[in-house]
Chain A
Amino acid sequence: MASWKVKHKSSGTPGTLNMGKPHIFEFETYQDMHACRDVINKAFAYCESLKSNSVLQTWSYASRFSEKISNELQILHKELVQSKVQKMNFWSRRKELLGKYSIGKWKQRVGLMASSIKPSTDGRTNRVTFNLTPEIIFQIFNERPAVSQAFLNYVPSKMTEKDFWTKYFRAEYHYSTKNTAVAEAEAAEDEVLSVFLKPDEILAQEARPKIRRVDPSLDMVADQGDDYSHTMDLVEPQNDQFGRRSLSQDINRHSATVLEDRCIDVESDDSRTIAEALTLAKQDVESDDSRTIAEALTLAKQVSKATKDAYQERLEKLSRAIVMEDLKEPQNFSFVPLSTKDPRDYFESQQGIVLNEPRVTWDSKRNVHDAYRSLKEPVVQIRTKGLSAPFINPEVSFKVLSELTQTISDANTLNGKNQPESVLDRLPKSMKHDILHHWALIQELLRHFWSSYPITSTYLSTKVGRLNDAMLNIDSQLEAMKEPVRSDIRHEVSSPVCSMQKVSFFRYIDKEFYVMNQIVDGS
C-alpha cells in the first residue's frame, strides 16, 4: 500500500479526503487517495460498529448481574440519563466499572473430539470425504502432539499439507474400520503413516512427570511394586505396536485437553501457525513451571526447601484424609452467615464481637499506630532476611486485625452508627430506603464528576454544571426529608450522605468553577 500521512488539519493540497469526521487525510497523489478510500471507509464503519457494540455489551453485562443490581441500575438510569448525564456517558462509565468484575473475555469453543470426525460418502463411488476446518485442525493438534510435531517436521519440506492430511485420515479411516492389519502393512512402508498409528510418544513422555505429581491416594503405579504374583505380566513385551489406541483412550485424551484449556491467541487458517502456537503455548507452561521452581530455589537459598514443601504438602493431604472430623468435638465459632444482600450486616457483626469484649478505653489513634508499628517490624525483617514459614507472627497479625476492627467500631460508635441500632435503623423504613437511594445517586454523580476532570472543553464544563445542579437538587431533597424527623437525630440523617457530598464535591466545584469561568471568559 502506498505510504500516506494523516493530518488533522485540512490544507489546499490536491489529495485531500474529507470524511465528514474530525479526520482529514492528506495524500501525495490522487491515485493513492483512491486506493485508500475503501480501506478508510471500512475502518470507520468498523469503529462505528464497535461503539454501538460497546453499549450493547454493557447492557448484556448488566443483565448478567443479579436481578437486584440491575433493578437499581434501571432506576439510576431513569433518574440520571434524561436530565443530567448523556446516555452514552452513562453506559461507558458503567462498562468500565463492570469490566473490573468480569473475569475477562473468553471465547466459547466448539466441543470437538479429534477422533469423532466422521467422513462423508456420496453413496455412489468408493470415495470418502473429510471436511477440515481450522477448529478441527486445532483440536487434532491439541489432542495429538505427535501429529502436530510431525506436521512441523514434514510440511512443507517433505510433502504438501494436502498429502499430510490425506495420510492422516487414511490412518484414521483404517482405525475406524478396525482394519488394523492393513494399517500395519502400510505403516511398515511409510514413516509418516506410522507416526499416526503408533501410540503418541510425546504424550507418553509427558505422562511420567505428571505421574509424580499425582495425588498419593491415586498412585496405583506404586502398588505394582509390591505385587509379586503378576511378575510375568509386567515384563511381557508389548509387541502389538500398532492398533492399540482405543476409543476410551481417545476420550480420556479429549477430556484431559478440555481440562487443560489451552488457548492460543492465533486467529488463523494456516495449520502451520496453529501447530507452532500450540507448541509455544505448551513450552510456556513448562518453562513457567521450571522458572517458578528455579525462583523458589534461589529465593529460599536451599535446594531441599522445595522438596520439603512438596513433602509437607503431601503430608497435609494425607492428614486431611486421615482425621475423622465427625469424632472431634464440634467447634462452635460465633459466625454470621455471609449474605451478599446487605454486606453491612456482615461487617457490623464483626464489630459487635469486638465490642462485647471488655476493653480499656485508650486513645484509639495511638493504638492504630502501635499496631502499625508492630506490623512494620516483621515487614522490615522480611526485607532483610527473606521469608520464613509464618512470615508474620500470628500474634502480631491478630493484634493488628483486632485493633483495626476496634478502631472502626469505635469510630462508628462516635458517629452514632453503633450496634445494634444504627441511625438508619431508627428511621422509618421508607426514609431509610430514600436515603440509600440518594446515596447511590450521589455516588454515581460523583463518578461522572471526577471522570470529567480536568475540564478542558465547554462540553465538559456544561456537564459539570448539570451535575452541580443535580447535586444541589438532591441536597434540597434531603433537607426536606429531614423535616419530619425527631430533632435529636435530624443532623445524623443527612450526615452519611452529606459528609460525602461536602468533603469531595462542593469544596472543589466552587473553586474549579471559578477558575473555569475565568478561562472561558478570558478566551
Chain B
Amino acid sequence: MFNKTLLVIEVSLSLVNNTQASILAGNFAKCSDSNLAGHWRRRKKMIFKIEDVTVYFPYDNIYPEQYEYMVELKRALDAKGHCLLEMPTGTGKTIALLSLITSYRLSRPDSPIKLVYCTRTVHEMEKTLGELKILHDYQLTHLGAQAKILALGLSSRKNLCVNSKVLAAENRDSVDAACRKRTASWVRALAAENPNVQLCDYFESYEKAADNALLPPGVYTLEDLRAFGKNRGWCPYFLARHMVQFANVIVYSYQYLLDPKVAGIISKELQKESVIVFDEAHNIDNVCIEALSVSVRRVTLEGANRNLNKIRQEIDRFKATDAGRLRAEYNRLIEGLALRGDLSGTDQWLANPALPNDILKEAVPGNIRRAEHFVHVLRRLLQYLGGRLDTENVEKESPVSFVSSLNSQAGIEQKTLKFCYDRLHSLMMTLEITDTDEFLPIQTVCDFATLVGTYARGFSIIIEPYDERMPHIPDPILQLSCHDASLAIKPVFDRFQSVVITSGTLSPIDLYPRLLSFNPVVSRSFKMSMTRDCICPMVLTRGSDQLPVSTKFDMRSDPGVVRNYGKLLVEMVSVVPDGVVCFFVSYSYMDGIIATWNETGILKEITQQKLVFFETQDVVETTLALDNYRRACDCGRGAVFFSVARGKVAEGIDFDRHYGRLVVMFGVPFQYTLSKILLARLEYLRDTFQIKEGDFLTFDALRQAAQCVGRVIRSKADYGMMIFADKRYSRHDKRSKLPGWILSHLRDAHLNLSTDMAIHIAREFLRKMAQPYDKTGTMGRKTLLTQEDLEKMAETGVQDMVY
C-alpha cells in the first residue's frame, strides 16, 4: 500500500490538478480521525466508586451487567476467597475484570496484589493485554506515575524467540532444542574455548546486561516483547521469564499454572497475594485432567528404546573421556538432591510432572544412582510396558495393582518409579544433551513412571489393543488417565488468595465447585441486557418431510436424517447472507455425512450459493481454511465452514459479525460414550462426588453445544441465529442445561420446528435485524449506563435501575 501511494505522488507532480483531489480526499479522512481522537480524549471517561474503591473505566458508558460483575468481584477480593462468575460473551468481561482488579490494587497501595490472567489461546492473551493497554493509558492520564505498572504476556520460545535460525525449526520442541543448543551452560562454556561453536547473540547480550536487563514499566504484548528484544538485542523469552517476578500483571496460558511440568519452572515464585483469573474456563476440568494424564503407544516405546541406546553410548563416551562427571553426579545423588538447585535458566527442562506437594525431597534410591543401573531399570520398564501392550483385551487397572505387578514382574519398586523423571533429567544434564526434542519418548515414559508411582487415587490405567471405532487396525495404547480435575487445580486454590473462574458458559454453575472441589465465596450467573433480540436460537426437530432428525446412535446413519440435514443447510445458505458455520459431533461423523452429501449432490447445491471450507485435524490446513473463509465472507456471497464440536475451532475462533450470521449444531455433541476412559471417569465421579453419569454427560454435551453456538455473537451490536438441529434438544432435561442467556431468547414457539418453519423464522429475523435501533435501550430498560446513572444508583440502590 505504501509504495502505491508514493507512485501516486510521483505522478501528481506532473498532473497536480488531477491528483490534488485524491490526496485531499485521503487526508480528509485522516484529519477527521485526528480531530475525533482529540475530541475523544477531551471527553470524560468513567470514574466511579464501588464502596471504597475508585474504579477507572476507560469508556464513556458501561453495561449494567459489567457494573454488577465488578460489584461481585470486589466482594470476592475483599473476602480473599475464590469466585465463579458466568457472564455472556460480548458483554465486556475482560475489561470489567481488568479495570476492577487494577483499580483495587491502586486503592490498596500498602498491600499490592498481583494479577495472573490465564487464557486459552495466544490471541486471547494478546487481546487481553491490548485491553489492559487502553485501561493503563487512561489511568496514567488520570493518576500520573503512581498508576504505572508492568504487565506482560508469556509464552513458549516458539512464540517469543527472535533468532531467525532458531525459529526455522518446525514445532515447539525443536525450537526449544535449537535454543538449548545455543544457550545451555556447557555449550557457552565450550564456546569460550572454541569460536566455531554457535551461540545466540540475543541471549549473549541479555546475559551481558545481567541485572540491568529490565523491562521499563508498561504493558507488553508478545509482539511488543519481541519488538523490544529485537531493538535492544536482548532475548525476549528469557527477559520475560526474568521479569515475571517483578510484573504486576502476567498473562499466560492455563498450562503455566495447571500443568505441574510447566508451572514448576515458571510459576514457582508467585506470591500468595495474587489474584488468579481463568478466563473462558468452561473446560477447565478437562485441562486439569489432561495435565496429569499420559499415554504410551508402540512408537513411544520404540523411540524410548532408541533414546536409551543413545544415552548408553553417551555414558560410555563419558566414561572414557570424563569419568569424573559421572562420579560427581553420583555423589550429588547420595546427598539427596536429584537436581542442583542453582540451575541456570537455560538448562532448565520441564519440571516434574507430579504436583509440588507430592514430590519427595529425599535421596534418590541407591539402585538408580549409577547411570548404568538407571538405564537398566528403564530398559526393564520398557520391556514390561511392551509386554502389557501385547494384550488382546481391554484392561483396566488401578495404579496400585499396576505398581505391584510391575514390582513382582520387573522388580521395580514404587519409590524407584517415583524418582524416574528427576533421575532422567539429572542424567541428561550430566551427559550434556541439548537436542531434547529427540528425547521426548523416554521423557514421556518417565513421566508415566513418576505419576504412576506417586498417585494411588483418582487415576486408572487403561490398555486398549485397538481403537474401538476401528477394530481392524491394531493400535495398542496404554493410558494413565486422571479422573479427578481437582487434583491439578488444588495447589492453585491452596496457594493463592483469590481465584476467579469466569466464562460465558458455566451452566449449571453449581457443578463446577463439585468438579473442582472448592468453596467459592461468590458464585453468580449474569444475564445480558439486550437492546434488541440480537440472537435467535431455534430447536429444529424435524426435516422438511416431518421426519425427526437426530444424531442418536441408531438414527445417525439413516439416509433420511442425512438428507434432511443436507436440505436444511441448502435452504439456509440461500437465505442467510455472509458466513454460516456448522458444527458436527465428531470428525468421523462429519466425514461420513459430507461423503454422502457429495454423492447425492447436496454439496454441489451448497457450493452454488457459498464456498465451502472444512476444519481438518491438521492445524495448518485448518488455519488456512479459516483465513480463506474470512476472505470469502469479506468479498463475496459468503462461505460455509464445517467444523467439529470439541475441536480447536470450536474452542478458540470467533465467528463474529458477518463471519457468522448462522450457526447450525448438527446433533448433540455427547462424548464417545463407549470410551473406556470416559466410563472410568464417570465411575469415579459417581463414587467420589455423587454426580450421576447421565447428568455429567448431558452437562458436558450441552456446554460444548453452547460453546459452539456462542461463537457467533461477540458483542451486543452483533446478531446471529443458532439452530440446534436434533430432536433431543426439545426435551426439557437437555435444554435446561443451556446457559440462561441463550434460554431467555429461546421462545416456546421455536422449540419444535421443521425446516420450512425455520427458514421462515430466519427470514423474519434477518429482516428485523436490518432495521436501525437505539443503542441505549428502550421500554424503560437501561442497557447503557452513564456516570450520572451510576451516581444515582449509588444513592437509590442498584436494583431499581437495572433490568
* A448, B327: Cα distance in complex, Å: 103
B619 near A220 with CB under 8 A, answer: yes
Given contacts A324-B95, A387-B5, A398-B28, A229 and B256 within 8 Å (CB-CB): no
A232 near B295 with CB under 8 A, answer: yes
* A221, B175: Cα distance in complex, Å: 14
| A88 adjacent to chain B (CB < 8 Å) | no
A226 near B92 with CB under 8 A, answer: no
Label chain A's interface by main secondary structure: helix
Select B616's contact among A116, A223, A248, A329, beta carbons within 8 Å. A248
A299 near B3 with CB under 8 A, answer: yes
A252 near B614 with CB under 8 A, answer: yes
B623 near A400 with CB under 8 A, answer: no
| A126 adjacent to chain B (CB < 8 Å) | no
| B492 adjacent to chain A (CB < 8 Å) | no
A292 near B123 with CB under 8 A, answer: no
Given contacts A232-B300, A237-B299, A395-B31, A379 and B9 within 8 Å (CB-CB): yes
A226 near B256 with CB under 8 A, answer: yes
Given contacts A211-B623, A218-B630, A248-B616, A390 and B30 within 8 Å (CB-CB): yes
Which chain B residues border A221 with CB–CB below 8 Å? 619-620, 623
Rounded to whole Å, the gap between the CB of B3 and the closest CB of chain A is 5
Q: Which residues of A (316-334) have their CB < 8 Å from a CB of B?
A: 318-319, 321-331
Q: Which residues of B (100-147) have their CB < 8 Å from a CB of A?
A: 120-123, 126-127, 130-131, 134
| B632 adjacent to chain A (CB < 8 Å) | yes
* A400, B784: Cα distance in complex, Å: 40
Q: Mark A45-59, 1 if CB is under 8 A from B, else 0.
A: 000000000000000
Which chain B residue shows the least CB distance to A390?
B30
A235 near B171 with CB under 8 A, answer: yes
| B565 adjacent to chain A (CB < 8 Å) | no
Which chain A residues border B631 with CB–CB below 8 Å? 259
| B191 adjacent to chain A (CB < 8 Å) | no
A322 near B134 with CB under 8 A, answer: yes
Rounded to whole Å, the gap between the CB of B38 and the closest CB of chain A is 11
A325 near B134 with CB under 8 A, answer: no
Which stretch (B308-316, B331-339, B590-598) binds chain A? B590-598
* A227, B131: Cα distance in complex, Å: 24
Which chain B residues border A246 with CB–CB below 8 Å? 591, 616
Which chain B residues border A231 with CB–CB below 8 Å? 173, 440, 443-444
Which chain B residues border A328 with CB–CB below 8 Å? 40, 59-61
* A119, B446: Cα distance in complex, Å: 54
B127 near A321 with CB under 8 A, answer: yes
Q: Which residues of B (24-67) have their CB < 8 Å from a CB of A?
A: 24, 27-28, 30-31, 34, 36, 40, 43, 59-63
A397 near B31 with CB under 8 A, answer: yes
Given contacts A215-B630, A226-B252, A234-B171, A249 and B616 within 8 Å (CB-CB): yes
Which chain B residues border A400 with CB–CB below 8 Å? 20, 24
Which stretch (B385-393, B518-526, B646-654, B702-710) binds chain A? B646-654
Q: Which residues of A (256-294) have their CB < 8 Å from a CB of B?
A: 256, 258-259, 292
| B507 adjacent to chain A (CB < 8 Å) | no
Which chain B residue shows the least CB distance to A237?
B299
Given contacts A219-B623, A221-B620, A327-B62, A394 and B27 within 8 Å (CB-CB): yes
Select B621's contact among A232, A249, A327, A398, beta carbons within 8 Å. A249
| A424 adjacent to chain B (CB < 8 Å) | no
* A318, B131: Cα distance in complex, Å: 10
Select A247's contact among B297, B598, B652, B784, beta carbons within 8 Å. B598
B59 near A327 with CB under 8 A, answer: yes
Q: Which residues of B (639-688) have their CB < 8 Å from a CB of A?
A: 639, 642, 648-649, 652-654
B591 near A248 with CB under 8 A, answer: yes
| A508 adjacent to chain B (CB < 8 Å) | no
Given contacts A322-B134, A329-B60, A311 and B227 within 8 Å (CB-CB): yes
A331 near B36 with CB under 8 A, answer: yes
Select B624's contact among A225, A228, A256, A327, beta carbons within 8 Å. A256
Which chain B residues border A404 with CB–CB below 8 Å? 24
| A67 adjacent to chain B (CB < 8 Å) | no
* A329, B223: Cα distance in complex, Å: 30
Which chain B residue shows the least CB distance to A238?
B618
A391 near B123 with CB under 8 A, answer: no
B611 near A248 with CB under 8 A, answer: no
Q: Mark B171-201, 1 if CB is under 8 A from A, else 0.
A: 1110100000000000000000000000000
| A382 adjacent to chain B (CB < 8 Å) | yes
A330 near B775 with CB under 8 A, answer: yes
Which chain A residues border B789 with CB–CB below 8 Å? none
Which chain B residues border A234 with CB–CB below 8 Å? 171-173
Rounded to whole Å, the gap between the CB of A184 and the closest CB of chain B is 15
* A398, B34: Cα distance in complex, Å: 11
| A214 adjacent to chain B (CB < 8 Å) | yes
Which chain B residues border A300 with CB–CB below 8 Å? 2
Which chain A residues border B297 with CB–CB below 8 Å? 232, 236
Select B591's contact among A224, A247, A255, A390, beta carbons within 8 Å. A247
Select B6's contact among A207, A215, A235, A299, beta carbons within 8 Å. A299
Which chain A residues border B611 with CB–CB below 8 Å? 255, 258-259
Which chain B residue shows the least CB distance to A295?
B3
| B517 adjacent to chain A (CB < 8 Å) | no
Select A224's contact among B16, B28, B172, B616, beta carbons within 8 Å. B172
Given contacts A222-B159, A226-B253, A259-B631, A252 and B621 within 8 Å (CB-CB): yes
| B156 adjacent to chain A (CB < 8 Å) | yes
| A483 adjacent to chain B (CB < 8 Å) | no
| B494 adjacent to chain A (CB < 8 Å) | no
Which chain A residues border B621 with CB–CB below 8 Å? 207, 249, 252
* A207, B619: Cα distance in complex, Å: 11
Q: Which residues of B (314-360) have their CB < 8 Å from a CB of A?
A: 350
* A375, B653: Cα distance in complex, Å: 46
B595 near A397 with CB under 8 A, answer: no
| A150 adjacent to chain B (CB < 8 Å) | no
| B625 adjacent to chain A (CB < 8 Å) | yes
Rounded to whole Å, the gap between the CB of B285 and the closest CB of chain A is 13
Which chain B residues border A394 with CB–CB below 8 Å? 27, 30-31, 34
* A221, B437: Cα distance in complex, Å: 18
Given contacts A247-B595, A321-B127, A391-B9, A229 and B775 within 8 Å (CB-CB): no
Select A229's contact among B134, B173, B293, B639, beta carbons within 8 Å. B293
Select B16's contact among A223, A255, A379, A401, beta carbons within 8 Å. A379
Rounded to whole Å, the gap between the CB of A103 and the closest CB of chain B is 14
Q: Mark A454-497, 1 if CB is under 8 A from B, else 0.
A: 00000000000000000000000000000000000000000000
A390 near B440 with CB under 8 A, answer: no
Rounded to whole Å, the gap between the CB of A403 and the closest CB of chain B is 10
Return 12 A-B CB contacts under 8 Å, by A number.
A220-B652, A222-B159, A228-B259, A235-B171, A256-B628, A259-B631, A319-B130, A329-B60, A379-B13, A397-B30, A398-B28, A401-B28
What residues of chain A have their CB less than 8 Å away from a CB belonging to chain B?
111, 116, 207, 210-211, 214-232, 234-237, 246-249, 251-252, 255-256, 258-259, 292, 295-296, 299-300, 309, 311, 314-315, 318-319, 321-331, 375-376, 379, 382-383, 386-387, 390-392, 394-395, 397-398, 400-401, 404
What residues of chain B have their CB less than 8 Å away from a CB belonging to chain A?
2-3, 5-6, 9, 12-13, 16, 20, 23-24, 27-28, 30-31, 34, 36, 40, 43, 59-63, 92, 95, 120-123, 126-127, 130-131, 134, 155-159, 171-173, 175, 221, 223, 227, 252-253, 255-256, 259, 261-262, 287, 290-291, 293, 295, 297, 299-300, 350, 437, 440-441, 443-444, 590-591, 594-595, 598, 603, 607, 611-614, 616, 619-628, 630-632, 639, 642, 648-649, 652-654, 715-717, 775, 784
New contact pairs (13) apart from A232-B295, A258-B611, A400-B24, CB-CB < 8 Å: A211-B624, A217-B127, A218-B627, A222-B122, A223-B122, A225-B158, A227-B253, A231-B444, A252-B621, A252-B625, A319-B130, A386-B6, A397-B28
Closest 7 CB pairs of A and B: A397-B27, A248-B614, A327-B59, A394-B31, A226-B253, A225-B156, A225-B158
